[in-house]
């Protein structure tokens, strides 16, 4: 988890302000937001129609926090396949199916690892199977799943799970299975990872070294017992689970409050917690079935996950995170939530629940959507957005600072992030559709996983996007320039491409087309050149011939179309400058003109010699072509003459000058530091 402070909040607000200023050139920004929303709806319909044709690319919808069910289904299918194998294909102890190790296929199966050991894929322990690590050093390149009455036991061992990216590895315990880790180390390569307990499973840590942060989800009647762990991680606590933690550090407790919950409590200082209990027998707690017991722990952080329908009041508390859950068929607007804020007497502006804070500090707000909800987010500073199930999220004019995680989408969701800034990673997964448009990433990974579609529309990222074998990434981006001259040929640079994984049955690149439009005449777009059939990556999209066009404000438009005839549009403001400002049109003569210093900081001197006697006019224009200086001086042909200009009040940037008399003109560029 990341710490936040007031300086970061100020920076975030500044970034939002600058972002709004940048996009203010679009005029009515709501028009573009509506375009994105409409595009999302159309794409949703088209994508699902195509997906029905390509059925292999679609899986059954699941809730991401309960996506474990999908994994269990896969495991049971593997077991069914194993049952069809003849005994000559498998040993009496373990079965290998590709890179998957299965223990417990037959009664009494046990595998003991007591030395250096490497496994290249997943491990499944089922039935009454037992996997033991005793004084072992094991490297595992896959997830661990336990089912039924299986056991995984580690004593005095080092278990290493390398990860190429965060949350790549999972340990999932189901049924009545047990995992016990004693006097051992769990190493996930310095990256956060997932663990989950389901049904009546038990996870037990005793004197465990775990340098990496975990996200641990608890469901049904499962239990976790921890004694002496350095980095315990975050726990998502729901249903009727039991959590006991003794002598641990770095603990984030997510209290999930369902629609039946009625909560009116205060949380203690988390620096050093000697004893803490949370269950329905406590004063101010009803409508929850889980039990939390914390003893002698340090760096305990309090997290809340209130669902729609809940009634929650928190008083005199420092809250590390609030993750609002939206479930069922809820439809909500969310605005004005700001990280790192103090609330004296605050009721969240949500009409689907009651959530009240009295004298509380909140470090991070996050939003999680499930099922078929529709949520519109406007003007927030958030830590994380997670979109799951079949939900739809539209987020605009917001900053996601990464203090709660990142932006992720999964299952068959549709999401638009528009006119926003992101200081963390962006990830689409499952069969989701994610549009990141007119937005800026300051750091983090850009990933399309599984069978998802990720669209990057007129947005900047700090890392090159990556994608899985079944996913697709779109890139439509007009990069530069921001201005050019009339009666010239202006190369427009950018990217227009669609990449897909080798196994993807989704869309691919079709073509792209460039257009222009006057900003004061939005009735028609004019094509630039012809339809382009070849992808472009950070290169010239089109050469724009501006012959005969008037100076002024324009829009450029890039339409990127796939081979299914879906189109997404990137738009960028552009200024056509008067021809007189084009430094390529300098008239060369035998006369001498010097303008110095260039670049300048304050005073500008213009010295000229051997010009014809008469009036000489010096004019200076800003980068938009507006005249800001005009000075006239009388000269004689034999004199060295000079004009001085005070440029101390000019804003830093690029300027253009024109010096002329009756029959001679000089033009050029000036730079102000």
Assign residue 658 the CATH number of its domain: 2.60.40.1930
pLDDT over 50 at 60, yes or no:
no
Q: How confident is the model at residue 261 (pLDDT cuts 50, 70, 90)?
A: very high
State mean pLDDT over 243-247: 97
State the DSSP string of 638-663. Answer: TSEEEEEEE-TTSPSEEEEEEEE-SS
345-357 residues labelled b (16+ CB within 10 A) or e (exposed) = eeebebebbebbb
State mean pLDDT over 645-655: 86
State mean pLDDT over 566-583: 77
Query: Is the same domain home to 544 and 595?
Result: no
Asked if the structure places residue 333 within a domain, the reply is: no
Asked if the structure places residue 649 within a domain, the reply is: yes
Out of 533, 552, 579, a domain closes at 579
pLDDT over 90 at 626, yes or no:
no
State mean pLDDT over 353-357: 96
The per-residue pLDDT for 51 is 37
Query: Is the same domain home to 661 and 530?
Result: no
**For residues 251 and 234, what is the distance between their CA atoms, to the nearest angstrom?**
6
Query: Is the same domain home to 480 and 552?
Result: yes
Q: Any idea which of 120-124, 347-351, 556-560, 578-582 has the lowest mean pLDDT?
A: 578-582
pLDDT over 50 at 358, yes or no:
yes
The pLDDT > 70 percentage for the chain reads 82
Does the pTM surpass 0.85? The reply is no
Phi and psi, residue 77, nearest 5°: -65, -40
pLDDT over 70 at 64, yes or no:
no
Query: Is the same domain home to 556 and 460?
Result: yes
For residue 36, the domain's CATH number is 2.60.40.730
Query: Is the same domain home to 622 and 567?
Result: no
Asked if the structure places residue 563 within a domain, the reply is: yes
pLDDT over 90 at 5, yes or no:
no
Domain that includes residue 570, residue range:
9-56+415-579
Asked if the structure places residue 596 within a domain, the reply is: yes
Asked if the structure places residue 561 within a domain, the reply is: yes
The per-residue pLDDT for 93 is 52
Out of 579, 611, 643, a domain closes at 579
Query: Is the same domain home to 521 and 660?
Result: no
Query: Is the same domain home to 569 and 625?
Result: no
Query: Is the same domain home to 419 and 568?
Result: yes
Average pLDDT, the chain: 84
Q: How confident is the model at residue 23 (pLDDT cuts 50, 70, 90)?
A: very low
Residue 56, judged by CB atoms within 10 A of its CB (0-12, 13-18, 19+), counts as: exposed
CA–CA distance from 596 to each of 157, 497, 580, 602, 659 (Å)?
Answer: 72, 45, 21, 11, 14
pLDDT over 70 at 109, yes or no:
yes
Q: How confident is the model at residue 106 (pLDDT cuts 50, 70, 90)?
A: confident
CA–CA distance from 64 to each of 81, 240, 269, 364 (Å)?
Answer: 26, 19, 32, 21
Out of 511, 545, 579, a domain closes at 579
The per-residue pLDDT for 417 is 92
pLDDT over 90 at 382, yes or no:
yes
The per-residue pLDDT for 600 is 83
- Total domains present in the chain: 2
The per-residue pLDDT for 12 is 34
Asked if the structure places residue 445 within a domain, the reply is: yes
Query: Is the same domain home to 574 and 587?
Result: no
SS3 sequence of 111-171? EEECCEEEECCCEEECCCCEEEEECCEEEECCCEEECCCCEEEEECCEEECCCCCCCCCEE
Q: Any idea which of 159-163, 316-320, 580-584, 592-596 has the lowest mean pLDDT?
A: 580-584
Query: Is the same domain home to 469 and 618?
Result: no
**For residues 439 and 338, what is the distance between their CA atoms, to the nearest angstrom?**
19
State mean pLDDT over 448-459: 93
pLDDT over 50 at 650, yes or no:
yes
């Amino acid at each position: 988890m990341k710490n936040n402070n007031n300086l970061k909040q100020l920076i975030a607000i500044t970034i939002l302000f600058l972002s709004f200023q940048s996009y203010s050139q679009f005029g009515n920004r709501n028009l573009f937001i509506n375009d994105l929303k409409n595009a999302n709806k159309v794409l949703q319909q088209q994508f699902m129609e195509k997906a029905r044709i390509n059925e292999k690319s679609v899986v059954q919808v699941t809730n991401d926090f309960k996506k474990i069910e999908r994994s269990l289904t896969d495991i049971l299918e593997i077991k069914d396949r194993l049952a069809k194998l003849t005994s000559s294909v498998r040993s009496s102890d373990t079965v290998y199916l590709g890179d998957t190790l299965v223990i417990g296929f037959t009664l009494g199966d046990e595998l003991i690892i007591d030395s250096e050991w490497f496994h290249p894929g997943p491990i499944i322990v089922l039935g009454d199977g037992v996997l033991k690590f005793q004084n072992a050093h094991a490297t595992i390149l896959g997830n661990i799943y336990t089912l039924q009455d299986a056991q995984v036991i580690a004593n005095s061992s080092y278990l290493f799970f390398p990860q190429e990216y965060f949350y790549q590895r999972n340990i999932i315990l189901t049924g009545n299975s047990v995992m016990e880790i004693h006097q051992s180390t769990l190493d996930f390569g310095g990256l956060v990872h997932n663990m989950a307990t389901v049904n009546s499973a038990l996870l037990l840590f005793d004197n465990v070294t775990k340098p990496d942060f975990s996200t641990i989800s608890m469901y049904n009647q499962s239990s976790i017992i921890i004694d002496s762990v350095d980095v315990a991680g975050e726990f998502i606590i729901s249903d009727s689970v039991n959590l006991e933690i003794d002598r641990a550090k770095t603990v984030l407790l997510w209290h999930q409050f369902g629609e039946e919950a009625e909560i009116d409590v205060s949380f203690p200082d988390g620096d050093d917690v000697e004893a803490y209990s949370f269950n329905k027998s406590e004063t101010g707690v009803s409508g929850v079935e889980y039990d939390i017991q914390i003893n002698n722990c340090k760096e305990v952080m309090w997290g809340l996950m209130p669902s729609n329908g809940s009634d929650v009041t928190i008083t005199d508390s420092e809250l590390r995170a609030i993750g609002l859950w939206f479930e069922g068929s809820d439809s909500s607007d969310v605005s004005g939530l700001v990280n790192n804020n103090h609330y004296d007497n605050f009721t969240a502006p949500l009409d689907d629940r009651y959530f009240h804070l009295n004298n509380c500090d909140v470090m991070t707000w996050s939003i999680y959507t499930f099922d078929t909800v529709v949520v519109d987010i406007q003007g927030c500073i958030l830590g994380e957005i997670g979109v799951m199930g079949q939900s739809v999220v539209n987020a605009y004019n917001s900053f996601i600072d990464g203090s709660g995680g990142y932006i992720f989408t999964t299952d068959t969701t549709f999401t638009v992030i528009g006119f926003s800034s992101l200081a963390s990673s962006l990830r689409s997964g499952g069969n989701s559709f994610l549009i990141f448009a007119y937005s800026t990433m300051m750091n983090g990974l850009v990933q399309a996983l599984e069978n998802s579609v990720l669209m990057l529309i007129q947005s900047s990222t700090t890392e090159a996007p990556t994608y899985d074998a079944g996913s697709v990434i779109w890139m439509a981006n007009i990069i530069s320039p921001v201005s050019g001259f009339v009666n010239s040929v202006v190369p427009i640079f950018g990217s227009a491409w669609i990449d897909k994984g080798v196994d993807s049955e989704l869309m691919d690149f079709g073509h792209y087309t460039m257009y222009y439009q006057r900003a004061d005449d939005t009735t028609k777009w004019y094509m630039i050149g012809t339809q382009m059939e070849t992808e472009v990556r950070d290169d010239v999209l089109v050469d724009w011939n501006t012959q005969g066009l008037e100076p002024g404000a324009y829009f450029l438009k890039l339409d990127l179309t796939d081979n299914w005839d879906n189109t997404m549009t990137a738009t960028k403001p552009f200024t056509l400058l008067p021809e007189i400002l084009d430094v390529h049109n300098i008239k060369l003569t035998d006369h001498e003109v010097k303008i110095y210093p260039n670049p300048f900081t304050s005073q500008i001197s213009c010295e000229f010699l051997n010009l014809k006697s008469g009036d000489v006019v010096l004019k200076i224009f800003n980068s938009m072509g507006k005249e800001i200086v005009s000075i006239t001086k009388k000269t004689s042909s034999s004199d060295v003459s000079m004009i001085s200009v005070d440029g101390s009040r000019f804003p830093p940037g690029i300027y253009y000058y024109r010096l002329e008399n009756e029959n001679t003109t000089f033009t050029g560029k000036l730079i102000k530091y």
